[in-house]
């Protein structure tokens, strides 16, 4: 168990070390079992999303406890891939069609994921009110995690439901 925890921690540290400008230098990584606890701070929402996506791409990570501060506020904890995940509060950005806007933003977030296993074209995004449902067949757990992380951190997503299936 200890060897696995050390492997996960080193994988996360190595992944975060690849970021430019040392913007991830203020992040502390703790691993308990296969759960990664992130604390410290990040300079922006983009940096926060990047960190979460990268951690999900590390093999054997089963959950992330997100205690990262963004500016002076703490970003909400995230759930694991097997349950509905809390996400940002539903927001209507004034376009009169919040579902369409959320759909577009989730697809864009999936396309921006740097997880090599995630093919955004394989993920169908369905929006019902503030609930986003991800469906499709993906090749790995890393792809599932990356898709959930990207969608869960998209503005306007109130609830996230995972219906992704691992390819045989």
- Which domains does the chain show, CATH number per domain? 2-74 (3.30.1340.30), 85-166 (3.30.1340)
Question: What is the reported pLDDT for 25?
Answer: 63
Predicted local confidence at residue 19, as pLDDT: 65
pLDDT at residue number 20: 52
What was the pLDDT predicted at 100?
57
Structure tokens at 131: 């609930």
Judged by DSSP in three states, 71 sits in: coil
Closest by CA to 118, choosing from 98, 132, 136, 105, is: 136
pLDDT score of 72: 35
Residues 6+ apart with CB under 8 A from 158: 87, 88, 89, 90, 129, 130, 131
DSSP code, position 121: G
- Using the structure block, give the residue that is written with the tokens 């376009």: 95
Task: Write down the pLDDT at residue 168.
Answer: 81
What does pTM read for this prediction? 0.46
Spatial separation of the C-alpha atoms in residues 105 and 155, rounded to whole Å: 8
CA atoms of 166 and 168, how far apart (whole Å):
6
pLDDT, residue 45, reads: 73
Are the C-beta atoms of residues 118 and 134 closer than 8 Å to each other? no
Model pLDDT, residue 24: 60
pLDDT per residue of the chain (168 residues) written in tens, 0 to 9: 788 889 999 998 888 887 654 456 678 888 988 888 888 887 777 777 788 888 888 898 888 887 777 653 333 333 333 333 344 333 333 344 455 588 888 999 999 988 888 888 899 999 887 788 999 898 988 888 889 888 888 888 888 888 888 888
Residues ≥6 apart with Cβ < 8 Å to 105: 154, 155, 156
Angle between helices 45-56 and 141-152 (to 10 degrees): 160
Res 70: pLDDT? 61
């Amino acid at each position: 168990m200890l060897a696995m925890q050390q492997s996960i921690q080193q994988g996360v540290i190595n992944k975060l070390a690849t970021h430019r400008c040392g913007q991830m230098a203020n992040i502390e990584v703790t691993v308990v079992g296969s759960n990664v606890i992130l604390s410290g701070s990040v300079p922006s929402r983009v940096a926060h999303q990047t960190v979460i996506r990268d951690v999900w791409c590390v093999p054997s990570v089963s959950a992330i406890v997100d205690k990262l501060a963004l500016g002076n506020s703490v970003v909400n904890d995230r759930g694991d891939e097997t349950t509905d995940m809390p996400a940002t509060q539903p927001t209507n950005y004034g376009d009169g069609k919040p579902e369409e806007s959320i759909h577009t933003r989730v697809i864009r977030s999936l396309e921006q994921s740097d997880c090599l296993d995630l093919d955004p074209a394989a993920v169908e995004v369905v929006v019902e009110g503030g609930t986003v449902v991800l469906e499709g067949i993906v090749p790995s757990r890393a792809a599932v995690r990356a898709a959930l992380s990207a969608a869960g951190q998209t503005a306007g997503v109130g609830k996230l439901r995972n219906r992704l299936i691992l390819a045989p």
